[in-house]
């Protein structure tokens, strides 16, 4: 997802990946994860980011 995000939106720096295994789960596929991305110059379209997140069965949040 991080690589696809960089390719689609032309992001130069690597988004920060945070993974958290669910309690009692041994399978890495059961880990929750998020990509932290800063867009201080506000050059990324929020609707496009929402669509991208949806492709990964996720969502976008803002601080």
Cβ count within 10 A of residue 7: 9
Mean pLDDT of 15-35: 71
Please state, in angstroms and rounded to a whole number, the distance separating the CA atoms of residues 13 and 27. Answer: 29
What integer pLDDT is reported at residue 13 of this predicted model? Answer: 85
| pLDDT score recorded for residue 53 | 93
Is residue 41 included in any domain, yes or no? yes
**Does residue 38 carry a pLDDT above 90?**
no
Residue 18: DSSP 8-state: E
Residue 63 lies in a domain: no
CB 6 within 8 A of CB 52: no
Beta-bridge mates of residue 20: 32
Which residue range is the domain that position 13 belongs to? 2-55
The answer to whether residue 44 sits within a structural domain is yes
In a domain, 22, yes or no: yes
pLDDT at 9 over 60: yes
Question: 62 lies in a domain?
Answer: no
Domain-located, residue 19: yes
């Amino acid at each position: 997802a991080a690589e696809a995000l960089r390719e689609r939106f032309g992001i130069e720096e690597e988004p920060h990946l945070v993974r958290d295994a669910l309690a009692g789960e041994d399978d890495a596929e059961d880990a929750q994860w998020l990509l932290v991305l800063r867009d201080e110059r506000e050059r990324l379209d929020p609707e496009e980011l929402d669509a991208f997140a949806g492709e990964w069965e996720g969502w976008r949040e803002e601080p």
